[in-house]
Chain A
Amino acid sequence: MPRWRKDGAIVFTAANETKSAFAARNDPTGWNLYLFQGGQIEKLTSGRIRETCASFAPDGTLYFVADATDGKDIPSIVRMGVDGRRETAVTLPKAPCMFGDPSVSPDGQRLLRAEAEQYNRPWRIVVSPVTNGAERTYLTPLTMPAYAPAWSPDGRSIAFTGCREGDDGWYVYLMSAKGGSMKRFAKGKNPAFAPDGRTVFYDRDGAIFKAQLKEGGD
């Protein structure tokens, strides 16, 4: 999914799909991140497997999921500064644990993401201090698969895609960024707040919808 930077640049994931699997056997073409800015496309990463799910922090630092860490088949969330320097922000003990959808809070202090800590566990929403990704607070329970979290512009709420027991499919849920009770907002997936903080966009059945939050945050 593409993401905006404050200045209007867009980061997205792409790969060269011109080769067959056989033709590419000695020339792997991983999925990498690209930046679209001013009509130009710039390749940002050259990862070994997949480098996906990018998101900008307010200061322009890029966070993304890398499926290889130090040449090993272990995923991590990488932080890449505006100078191009990379460092690992969060690791998991071993594959096949998984990350998705990293997103830094508007104040730049917290790192939100989807995470499945074991292969037989569902995706859950997790938040950590941006300086210590290992300090995990799980915001959703194991009984509720959840992914695609998004911050509200004021950083007080998050929206995400989830399915609670009894739901008839994926729904957009809203909850406080500190955790606690959640509210089912609309049937659909992949929510995003508009800059006004009152409008939420999401997709359902191949169409994009928007809905307004009521006054008082309810």
Chain B
Amino acid sequence: MLKHLIASGIVVYACLDVSAFEKIAFVDGSDYPHVFDIENAAGTERIIDRVLETGADVVLWRTHSGAMPRYASGQEDLDRMVWPVDKRRASRSTLVNGWVTLWGNRPDQLKVVRDLCAKRPQVRKWGLHMLLEEAHWQFMYLGAWNLEHPQFWCRKHDGTAQMYHSSFAYPEVLKHRLAIVEELIGYGPEMIYVDTCRNGGYFLANEYVKPYLDRWTALYPGEPVPSDSRDPRWVAIASEGRYNYFKGMRRLIDASGRKIPLLVGIDSVCGTEADRTTTALGVDWRRYVNEGIVDGVVVASIAVDPSDALGSMERYFRKVMAFVDGRCKVYFPIMSYNFSKQRPGYAQISKWAGVSVAEGLRFQLEMAVRCGAAGIVMECVDPDNYPERDQKVIRDFVATVNGDGK
């Protein structure tokens, strides 16, 4: 069966225009401080070398993490980014190691990355890997702007303040976050990806804030606000701010006069309408596709059925393709890490399918082409994932697809 599918896949993708098949790698420079000196251009260049080993030809660089911008931001005060010592901002007890000095010399890493990528013929595009929320996990660090504006913090149904996230229900928050996007567009990215998998612990269950509560009262007078944040009526209300954010991003990109593809991530895709991205995170990606807000949908992970791992993977991915129906690009996940049952990596999927990692990986790559994906996305390439044996599978496949190794 497997061999049959692989063979039929080769026939199909040979007929496609695969010259533009993109191999996107997400990169978080702060995965590397223990192996390279990421605070200078030489260290950053070594990260790019490592990333390109995977066969990637699109490099999307993390803009923020740990609530800290990786560039010279006018929106976040770097003087207040001395997070190791401010308990309010750096609440987690983390081994400081050398991180106390990270960005001490204030390099503008995005500028360094842009310039380095321009010199690399392998890199077709460079761009931005933006997190849905700027915190890279909620119990770690608090953004400087967030710290100064507690009146905009998210709240749970019982009113408990959520100090790591500010709500898009407030116009001031939307304005601040779009100002960040505007300054990032100034770096000239050739692609912008909003990652919903890394959401910093943000959920619609944290959106019980006054503007949305008032909206609920206006629409459903006398009815208590549902404690279940997955109530479709609540989802519709509480997703509005996020929608305005994406719409604002689109407006800023268009106003820049440059063609910068805007990609939205969808996570734990499971073949149903009520997927996690829409109902838990309030990212109504179907609406964004319908309204032409996004240029691409990144399927960041697929919650495959372990009893039919490869078959269900293809079915669920094809459902996304069917919805999009050619209106924008769709990207296929080649994820190294096995985060959870809903977010399995290619090795786990191969194991469930009863094939070797190499076989399973190749099958997934071929599935991407067979299904008509615009390319593959690779999980943040770090020093420990995508080992050499898997890189070879990816590189060999890429050479087969494009004929030139790109």
Contacts and interface: CB of A to CB of B under 8 A. Distances in A.
Interface of A: 13, 15-25, 28-31, 48-50, 52-53, 65, 67-68, 73-75, 95-96, 98-101, 114, 116, 119-123, 142-145, 147, 163, 165, 167-170
A143 B93 contact: no
Interface in B344-402: none
A22 B36 contact: yes
Contact of A122 (B40, B84, B161): B161
B91 interface: yes
A22 B151 contact: no
Is the contact region of chain A dominated by helix, strand, or loop, or is it mixed? loop
Given A20-B104, A142-B159, A95 B92 contact: yes
Contacts of A99: 87
Contacts of A119: 91, 138-139, 201
B33 A98 contact: no
Given A22-B39, A145-B150, A17 B101 contact: yes
B97 A25 contact: yes
B287 interface: no
A170 B87 contact: no
A120 B98 contact: no
Contact of A120 (B43, B159, B201): B201
Is the contact region of chain B dominated by helix, strand, or loop, or is it mixed? loop
Contact of A73 (B95, B156, B161): B95
B386 to A, nearest CB: 22
A157 B374 CA distance: 64
A120 B37 contact: no
A20 B101 contact: yes
B255 interface: no
B141 to A, nearest CB: 11
Nearest to A116: B91
23 contacts: A13-B85, A15-B100, A17-B104, A21-B37, A22-B98, A25-B97, A25-B98, A28-B96, A30-B96, A31-B100, A50-B96, A52-B85, A73-B93, A75-B93, A98-B92, A100-B88, A114-B88, A120-B138, A120-B201, A142-B160, A145-B153, A163-B153, A170-B148
The 3 A-B residue pairs whose C-beta atoms are closest, nearest first, are: A24-B98, A119-B139, A21-B98
B103 to A, nearest CB: 9
A24 B99 CA distance: 8
Given A142-B161, A144-B161, A168-B151, A19 B93 contact: no
A116 to B, nearest CB: 6
Contacts of B87: 52-53, 65, 98-101, 114
